[in-house]
């Protein structure tokens, strides 16, 4: 049983080192708009404490700081950092069958062509992702207090914390931003034993 505990402890330590390695690779951060303007307080604290370089152009960012994850964030990241598509081999275009010289297309052929291009019931057409607001990615609204640092290339969460603001006053939002940045600094420089 003691061996199992040691193995579990070793695996947990290795997992935290892997997360720290991803976190240490982050230099430039873009901060997404957050509830109650918390993004502004975080940008101020991160900059003044020299934790990361805050960029205003998301294309220059190594990571994105956001208060939500999910489909809306995926859509925004895809717009900012499009996934490269593999090159496609060009296939020769197939030409539609034409009647031989001297032959005319029959009325039946014309009717089949007309029927095939007729409107299809919308229920059977391809579905399209129609987000009215890509920022609203959850039917439950924002989770108040969660902050995520998402790697721009891999789209993996490399760091997260939970610190709900105690109120909406500027003093409370600044305290929340200060607490979040303190945790981030602590995780960036783990204490040596």
Residue 107's SS3 state is helix
CB 19 within 8 A of CB 56: no
Q: Using an 8 Å Cβ cutoff, are 167 and 40 in contact?
A: no
Task: Write down the pTM of the prediction.
Answer: 0.60
> Which residue has better confidence, 128 or 93?
93
* Averaged pLDDT, 173-189: 94
How many C-beta atoms surround the C-beta of residue 36 within 10 A? Answer: 18
Kindly state the tokens that stand for 10: 């070793």
Using CA atoms, how far apart are residues 145 and 139, in angstroms rounded to an integer? 17
Report pLDDT digits (tens) over 28-40: 999 999 988 999 9
């Amino acid at each position: 049983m003691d061996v199992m505990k040691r193995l579990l402890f070793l695996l947990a330590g290795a997992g935290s080192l892997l997360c720290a390695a991803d976190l240490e690779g982050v230099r430039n951060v873009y901060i997404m708009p957050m509830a109650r303007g918390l993004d502004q307080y975080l940008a101020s604290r991160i900059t003044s404490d020299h934790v990361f370089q805050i960029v205003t152009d998301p294309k220059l960012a190594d990571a994105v700081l956001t208060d939500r994850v999910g489909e809306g964030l995926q859509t925004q990241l895809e717009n900012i950092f499009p996934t490269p598509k593999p090159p496609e081999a060009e296939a020769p275009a197939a030409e539609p069958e034409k009647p031989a010289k001297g032959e005319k297309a029959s009325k039946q052929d014309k009717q089949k062509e007309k029927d095939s291009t007729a409107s299809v019931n919308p229920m059977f057409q391809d579905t399209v992702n129609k987000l009215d607001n890509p920022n609203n990615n959850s039917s439950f609204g924002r989770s108040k207090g969660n902050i995520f640092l998402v790697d721009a290339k891999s789209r993996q969460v490399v760091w997260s914390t939970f610190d709900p603001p105690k109120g909406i006053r500027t003093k409370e939002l600044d305290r929340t931003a200060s607490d979040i940045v303190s945790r981030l600094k602590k995780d960036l420089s783990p204490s040596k034993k």
